[in-house]
Each structure stands twice: as structure tokens, then as C-alpha cells.
Structure 1
Amino acid sequence: MALLHRADLKPGKLELLAAWLPGRPWFVGEAGAEVTRVAACRFDDPAGEVGVETLLVRAGAGPVLHVPLTYRAAPLDGGDEWLVGTTEHSVLGRRWVYDGCGDPVHAAVLASVLRGDAGQAEEYFEVDGVREVREPLMTVTAEPDRDIPAAGAIRRVEDADPTVIVTDTVELAVLRTVGTGTGGGAGTLTGAWPGGPGHVALAYAVPR
């Protein structure tokens, strides 16, 4: 389950992405344009330490882009290349925001979802001790493959479209431009959201 906070973020995650996205080799859209959220969902870090979010955004009139993000209370060792930026959270304090493709927690969660051992997190607020569930902005579904191993250490990341996360045990492909790929390999994660084109491929795995 993902506990959400009614909090202010300064700068907001979309502001961070507006500055960060145009520098990505897979970016398609209007550089300098406002970045808007199309859909999003959360996954659970089993250790409860790292926030894991799948975010779909659009820069201006560009296509929908898939950006997995992780949120940390301290810098990720060796993660400078994948740092989107830092933000001040009015409840949690400073948060380091990373492109999930370079974060081992995201790799582990994605492999677990594609294997069928985990799924989308239920999102909720705590209000006066009462849990209020928030309807997800996107529904994700995996076609699980039990042969997909747990993700090993990340050896390299091929930052293209798809972005390929190469670990000791499995390769995880993250489709960046939504709707242009159909997935493949040993499992596929798809997403659907209100007003969207139906279930579209977001990621898949290739056992090594």
C-alpha cells in the first residue's frame, strides 16, 4: 500500500521534469513547454524506504512519455547520472527524485511485478486516523512469467527507447514513448487510463 500525503512539493515533480526531460536521448515533445501529467500509479518498495511511481507525462503537444520515478530521503550512491532533481516535501522534508531506470529498487520492483509476485499499490490518505483510498489514475496489468528471475545488480543502463536496464540476472526494457511498442520478451506490463487508447505496453523483461 502507498501512503500519500496532502503536502506541497517545491519545486513540483512536473517542474523538475520540464527541466530534465529535454536532455534525455529519447525525449519527444516541445522543449521548454509545460509538462502535464497524463496518468500515474504507485508500486510498493518491500522495505518501505523508497517511493516508486510510474508517471505518464506530455511536454506541450508531444506524445505521452513513460517516466518511472523513485523518491528517496537521501542520495542514491552512484546515482548522480539518474538524478532528476531535489524537492522540499512539506511533510517528509528534502526528497531526492531519480529516474527509476537507474535505481535498483525500481528494477527489483519491476521484475517482481513482471514475475507476478507484486502488483500495483493501493493508494490512500490517513485522515484523522481513518484510511481514505484514492482511486488510481491508471490501472496497470502484467502478463506474468514465472521464469523471470529477481533483478540482480544493475550493470549498465542503455538510455534509449526502450531504455534497457541490464542486471546480473535479467534485462528490463522500459518503453519511453507510449503506444509505439508492443512489448516482448518474457513478460509485459501494460497500462490504461481514462480517456486513453486502452491497454498499452509500458515495460517487459528478457531473461538472461
Structure 2
Amino acid sequence: MAVHHPATIVPTKLELLRAWVPRQPWAGGVTPDVLTQLGAYRFDDPDGEVGIETHLLGTASGQVLQVPLTYRGAPREGADATLVTTMTHTTLGDRWIYDACHDPVYPAVLAEVVRTAGREAELFTATPDGLVPNPLTTHVRGSGGGPGALGAPVEVRQRGADTRIRAGSTTLVLHRRPDRGASEPGPSPTGPSLTGTWPGQDDPVLLVSVEER
């Protein structure tokens, strides 16, 4: 369960994404001001300490970019190189935003969602009268099967439009551009995976693949 706390945040999520995404090798030279928010999905941190949210962004050419982030209430030791930015949140205080692929919480939770055929976290808004459920427009589903518990990632590499996160004998392949359009279709599931839909994308698209050796 994810809880949204009404607040003013500086920078906004779209602002920080527009500043950071175009500088990444998988973004394909996208222009910052044309990035739009298509959807987002969250996972639950079992320890309740780290926010895990994946953003789906649209480009002017119709491509989709997949950007997972983690939100922390304090800096993660030794992770300065993967810090996206800091954020001021008027309810939660200062937040440290990281590239989730390098944050050990993200791949561990992602692998568990795939293994258990899990789904996105439910989202609620905190109000004076209690938690109010938010309707979700982006939905993901794990296939079932795949790895058990993962250790800390030992290697994160970029290969074309894919970010490969290796932990032991398991590699999670995050497809940064999951829906490449009619002229360049995205990959199809061939094993344990995570697929998703969002507004304007009614057919499930492969978001993450799992490879084991």
C-alpha cells in the first residue's frame, strides 16, 4: 500500500524527470520540455522505509520511457553517483531521490513481484478523516516463477535501451523503452517477466524480463 500525502514538493516529479532523463544514455537525446507523464506504478517496500515508483514518460516522437526511482528520507551511504536530486516535501520533509536500478531495495522487490505474480501497490491519499483510495490508471502484473530472494545488485549495465541489473545468478532486464511503436516493436515475454498497461496502452507491454544462469 502506498500513501500519498498532500503537499507542495520542490522540484515536482515531472520537473526532476525533465532535468535528469535527457542526460541518460537510454533516453535517445529526448528534449526535456516535450516529456509528458503517461502513468506511474508503485511497489511496497516490506520495511516501509523507501518509496518505489516507476514513471512512464511520453516523448514527442511517441516513444515511451520507463524510469524507476526510489525516495528516501535520508541519504543512502555511498550512493552519491546515483542520486537524481533532492526534493523538499512540505509533509515528509527533505527527500533523496535515486535511480532505482542502483538501489538494492528496488530489484529485490521487483523480483518478488515477478515471482509471486504480484501487482502494483494500491494508492491511498491521507486525509484528516483517514485514508481514501485513489483510482489507478497504470497496472502491472508479474508472470509468476523466476528468482527467489535476491542479494544486493553486484552490477548494473546499460545495453542499448535496456538496463541490466545482475544479482548473483539472476539478471533483471529493465526495458527503458518498452513500447517502441509500430516501426520498432518492443520485446515479447519469453520467461519470467513484468508486463503493464497504462492510459492509451490497453494491450500488456513487456516492462521487465528476468534471465537466470
- After superposing the two structures, state which structure 1 stretch, 7-16 or 117-126, moved more: 117-126
Give the aligned residue type for 1:151: L
Q: Residue 88 of structure 1 corresponds to which residue in structure 2? A: 88
Structure 1: which 5+ runs fail to align? none
Alignment of 1:41-190 (within 5 A): 41-116=41-116, 118-145=118-145, 147-160=146-159, 161-180=161-180, 181-184=186-189, 186-190=191-195
1:124-166: CA deviation from partner (whole Å, max 9, x where unpaired): 0122233210011201111111x41212111110023210001
Query: How many matched pairs?
Result: 207
Q: Distance in 1 between matches of 2:114 and 2:50?
A: 19
Q: Residue 26 of structure 1 corresponds to which residue in structure 2? A: 26
Moved over 4 A (4+): none
Q: TM-score, normalised by structure 1?
A: 0.92
Give the aligned residue type for 2:210: A
Q: Distance in 2 between matches of 1:6 and 1:25?
A: 33
Change (3 A) 1:205 1:185: farther
Give the aligned residue type for 1:127: T
Report the 3-state secondary structure (helix = DSSP H, G, I; strand = E; otherwise coil) of the residue aligned with 1:74: coil
Q: TM-score, normalised by structure 2?
A: 0.90
Q: Residue 201 of structure 2 corresponds to which residue in structure 1? A: 196
Q: Is the 8 A contact 1:150 1:170 kept in 2?
A: no
Q: Distance in 2 between matches of 1:48 and 1:117?
A: 21
Q: Distance in 2 between matches of 1:50 and 1:158?
A: 23
1:86-116: CA deviation from partner (whole Å, max 9, x where unpaired): 1101111111111111110001110101111
| Sequence identity percentage | 41
- After superposing the two structures, state which structure 1 stretch, 189-198 or 177-186, moved more: 177-186
Q: Residue 210 of structure 2 corresponds to which residue in structure 1? A: 205
- After superposing the two structures, state which structure 1 stretch, 78-87 or 36-45, moved more: 78-87
Q: Is the 8 A contact 1:183 1:202 kept in 2?
A: no
Q: Is the 8 A contact 2:114 2:193 kept in 1?
A: yes
Q: Distance in 2 between matches of 1:52 and 1:190?
A: 17
Give the aligned residue type for 2:155: R
Q: Is the 8 A contact 1:186 1:207 kept in 2?
A: no
Change (3 A) 1:191 1:29: farther
Q: Distance in 2 between matches of 1:165 and 1:184?
A: 17
Give the aligned residue type for 1:155: V
